Amino acid sequence: GAGVSQSPSNKVTEKGKDVELRCDPISGHTALYWYRQSLGQGLEFLIYFQGNSAPDKSGLPSDRFSAERTGGSVSTLTIQRTQQEDSAVYLCASKRRGDGELFFGEGSRLTVL
Amino acid sequence: AQSVTQLDSHVSVSEGTPVLLRCNYSSSYSPSLFWYVQHPNKGLQLLLKYTSAATLVKGINGFEAEFKKSETSFHLTKPSAHMSDAAEYFCVVRHGSGNTGKLIFGQGTTLQVKP
Taking only the tens place, the pLDDT of each residue in A70-108 is: 887 999 999 999 999 999 999 999 988 776 788 999 999
pLDDT score, position B72 = 92
Residue B43 and residue A105: Cβ atoms within 8 Å? yes
Report the share of chain A in percent with pLDDT over 70.
Answer: 98
Q: Are strands B3-6 and B44-50 parallel, antiparallel or unpaired?
A: unpaired
**Residue A62, min C-alpha distance to chain B (Å):** 19
Does the CB of B5 have a partner CB in chain A at under 8 Å?
no
Q: Are strands A10-13 and A108-112 parallel, antiparallel or unpaired?
A: parallel
Average pLDDT over residues A46-67: 92
Residue B105 and residue A33: Cβ atoms within 8 Å? no
Cβ(B104)–Cβ(B92) under 8 Å? yes
pLDDT score, position B8 = 94
User: Does residue A58 surpass a pLDDT of 80?
Assistant: yes
Residue B102 and residue A56: Cβ atoms within 8 Å? yes
Mean pLDDT taken over chain B: 90
Torsion angles phi and psi, residue B61, rounded to 5? 60, 25
**Residue A3, min C-alpha distance to chain B (Å):** 11
Number of CB pairs, chain A paired with chain B, less than 8 A apart: 49
B110's enclosing H/E stretch is strand B109-114
User: Does residue B99 surpass a pLDDT of 90?
Assistant: no
**Residue B26, min C-alpha distance to chain A (Å):** 17
pLDDT band at B40 (very low <50, low <70, confident <90, very high): confident
Report the share of chain B in percent with pLDDT over 70.
Answer: 93
CB atoms within 10 A of CB B85: 20
Does the CB of B86 have a partner CB in chain A at under 8 Å?
no
pLDDT score, position B100 = 65
Instruction: Specify which of A17-21, A24-28, B31-35 reaches the highest per-range mean pLDDT.
Output: A17-21
pLDDT score, position B32 = 87
pLDDT score, position A79 = 98
DSSP E strands, B15-108 = 19-21, 23-26, 33-38, 44-50, 56-58, 64-68, 73-78, 87-94, 103-105
Q: Are strands B87-94 and B103-105 parallel, antiparallel or unpaired?
A: antiparallel
Burial of B64 (0-12, 13-18, 19+ CB in 10 A): middle
